[in-house]
Amino acid sequence: MTTASPLPAHRRPLPRLGLVWVTWRQHRFALYGLLAMLAGFAALMVAGGLRARSTYHRLGLGGCASFAGGRCEQLRMELFGWYPQQLPFLFLLLLPAAFGAFFGGPLIARELETGTYRFAWTQGAGRTRWLLTKLLLIAVVLAAVAEAYGALYTWYNAPLDHVMRFGFNDYLGFELGGVVFPVQTLLAFTAGVFAGALTRRTLVAVGAVFLGSSGLIMALVFKLRQYYMTPLVTAGRTGPRDWVIGRAYVDPSGHLLDTSDSHLLYMKYLAQLPMSGDPRSSVSYRDWLLARHYTIVTTYHPAGRFWTFQFIEAGWMGLLILLLGLATVRLVRRRIG
C-alpha cells in the first residue's frame, strides 16, 4: 500500500487565514499605537461630552421651546461658551489623511525598499492575494475606527447641536454625521498604497498622501462642496439647519450693494446700537435693514439636501477608491518584481 508523499515545503498551500495572520503580525504594533492614541483622545471627548450634558441639564435648556431671545438665548450662549470648541476639530478633519499616509504609504513601499517582497510573494499566496488581503483587512479596520469616531463626535456635540441648531450649515456635522468620514479615510488609504507602489519610497508616499489628502479635504470643506448642486435663492428667511452660501443686499431703489457699500451699511447699524450693552434693547441687523426697506437675498442649500450631498461625495470618492485599487493591483502584477 502506498501513501501520498507530502508536498514540498515550497509548494504547500498557504493556510486559509495565513495571510490574515501575517498581516496582523506585520502591522500589530502600528495598530496598537493607533488605538492607544485614539483611545486617549476618545477619553477626553467622553469626559467633555459628560460635562456638557451636566451643564445642559444644570442650565435647564431642555425646557426651552425656543432660543430666539430672552433667558433661553442667554443660557444657550453660556453653553456655547463653555464648549472647548477647538479640541476635536482640526484633529478629526486630518484623521483620514493621517490614516492614509501612515498606513497606506508604507504598505507596499516598505516591502519594496527593504526587498522583503521577494520573500512575501513566493510563499504560496501570490502577490495579488497578498495585496488584496492586506488592503481589505486594514481598510475594514480603518473604516470602522473612522465611523466610531464620527459617532463619538455626534454624541459629544449633541447638547450644543440641540441649542444651536447645527446641521447642514456645520462643516464638522457634515463630515462626521454621515458616511463621508469613513469614505474619506478609505480614499486616503488607497491613495497611500498606490503612491507607495508607484514611487517605491515610503517617506515620499507618506508625505505626498498626507499633504494631498489634507488639501483635498480642506478644499472640499471650505470651497468645492457647495457646487455639488445649484444653490437656491430667497429673499425670505432660511431654516436654522440650512447651509447659507452667501448674502447680498439690495437697496430700496433696487440696486445691488457691493462689498464696500455693504460694509458701510453694517457700520451704520453698529453706530446706532445703544450703549447699555443689553441685547434686548437693540434690534437685529436683519430687522434694522427691513425697516429701511432693504432686501436681503440669501443663497443657500436647504437642510433636506444633507444626505444627497453625502451620497454625491461618497459616490465619486468610492469610484476613485475603486480606480486606485485596480491601478495598484495592475501595478503590482505587471511592473513590480
Judge whether 202 and 196 are in contact, CB under 8 Å: yes
Least confident segment among 161-165, 275-279, 301-305: 275-279
Nearest of 220, 211, 219 to residue 188 by alpha carbon: 211
Q: Structure pTM?
A: 0.79
The pLDDT value given to residue 1: 47
User: Residue 206: left if φ>0, alpha if ψ -120 to 50, beta else—which one?
Assistant: alpha
Section 158-184 average pLDDT? 82
Helix (H) or strand (E) holding 218: helix 202-219
17 against 222, higher pLDDT: 222
Amino acid of residue 282: S
Q: Give residue 5's region: left, alpha or beta (phi > 0; psi -120 to 50).
A: beta
pLDDT tens readout for residues 74-111 = 888 888 777 765 555 677 788 899 888 888 888 888 77
Can you tell me the distance from the alpha carbon of 270 to that of 272, in angstroms, rounded to the nearest whole number? 6
Average pLDDT rounded to a whole number, residues 125-152? 83
180-199 and 89-99 helices, crossing angle to 10°: 40
pLDDT score for 121: 61
Give the model's pLDDT for residue 5.
Answer: 47
pLDDT class of 2 with cuts at 50, 70, 90: very low
Q: Which of the two residues, 116 and 245, has the higher pLDDT score?
A: 245
Confidence at residue 9, expressed as pLDDT on a 0 to 100 scale: 47
Give the pLDDT score at 7: 47
Higher per-residue confidence, 111 vs 297:
297
